Amino acid sequence: MGLTDAQVAQARRAYKAGTLDVDAAAARWSVARSTLYAALTGRTWATMMDPPPVRIAVARQGTARRRLTTAQVAAARHERAALGTSYRTLATNLAVSEESIRAAVTGQTFTTLADPPPVAAVPPRRAVGQDVARRIIRLRAQGMTWPDIGARVGVHNSTALRVARRWSSIPEAPSDT
């Protein structure tokens, strides 16, 4: 269902008075924010002139987005460190993008916020080459456990197992001696 004449008039008056919460009004009237903004500015409801459409100042690129506060970032860092909450959940709870919350939590942004300190970013996955695969297979042949092999070559134990299964048929590298 769309907006009524009375709702558009009420929204325009409230916007001019500075008391309109666009998100709340859009949710209350079950319309999208863009629908409400179109009615406010006269892109739709252009013939309704009492009250007239409002002028909405155009914000510079990026300033119209939701901004995080230092308190929100501090709470997100604490939650990520203590509970391991995913970036997706944090972003959803704070109504920001995953990229924004990840940058804030890991200290790429909010660099002056020292307490709590930034949460270490998880390093990206790296490919395991043939030399590492050969080393994993050799260590397993010597009787080492998967956790020990993983710790020795710098990968998770499940990665060591997966690499050994995948690369079990690679030939041994020729020795230089």
| Domain residue limits, the chain | 1-56, 66-122, 130-167
**0.85 exceeded by pTM:** no
What's the count of helices (H) and strands (E) in the chain, helices before strands?
9, 0
Amino acid 172: pLDDT: 58
What is the mean pLDDT of the segment spanning 31-55? Answer: 84
pLDDT digits (tens, 9 = 90+) for 106-164: 888 888 888 878 777 666 666 778 888 889 999 999 999 999 998 888 888 888 888 88
Preceding peptide of 51 cis, ω within 30°: yes
What is the mean pLDDT of the segment spanning 92-108? Answer: 87
Q: Is the pLDDT of residue 173 over 50?
A: yes
Cα–Cα–Cα angle for 3, 92, 114, rounded to 5 degrees = 130
The alpha carbon dihedral of 40, 43, 45, 46 has a sign of: positive
Q: Cα–Cα distance between 82 and 124 in angstroms, integer?
A: 21
Q: Cα–Cα distance between 37 and 68 in angstroms, integer?
A: 23
CB 168 within 8 A of CB 137: yes
The alpha carbon dihedral of 4, 8, 11, 17 has a sign of: negative
**Percent of the chain surpassing pLDDT 70:** 85
Q: Is the pLDDT of residue 79 over 90?
A: no
What is the mean pLDDT of the segment spanning 87-101? Answer: 86
Least confident of 8-12, 157-161, 165-169: 165-169
Q: Cα–Cα distance between 8 and 97 in angstroms, integer?
A: 30
